[in-house]
Amino acid sequence: MAGFVLSREAREDTLAIWLYLSQQASDDVADQQLDRIYDTCAKLAANPYIGRSRSELRKDLRSFPENPYMIFYTVEGPQQDVLIRRVIHSSRDIDRQFSGES
């Protein structure tokens, strides 16, 4: 059964999201947002090709929204495991986040 793994960058992204939301709103709001993000990651693990291809940013990259964030991921190996590459707020400059990657 395929699963999902967060890259180091995605772990940093989710920590930053939690810290920001806990400071701006509450720990409960931060927890709820991360729960939605992780639920979406589990959905992607079960259906890895439902996301949009983002090959203009990086080879084999896909994305799927969890508003107001965008989850960027790749499908890896024979088990088609989902590697969550980044979780980025949709208002950010997405191109800049992936510049320098191949």
- What pLDDT digit, counting tens, does each position of 3-62 carry? 899 999 999 999 999 999 999 999 999 999 999 999 999 999 999 999 999 999 999 999
pLDDT of 75 higher than 70: yes
Give CA–CA dist 77/90, Å, rounded.
28
The better pLDDT of the pair 98, 102 is held by 98
* Residue 46 CB neighbour total at 10 angstroms: 13
Residues 6+ positions from 71 with CB-CB distance below 8 Å: 37, 40, 41, 44, 51, 63, 64, 65, 84, 86, 87
- The pTM score is 0.93
Looking at the structure of the chain, the number of domains it has is: 1
- Residue 33 maps to which CATH number? 3.30.2310.20
Domain range spanning residue 73? 4-98
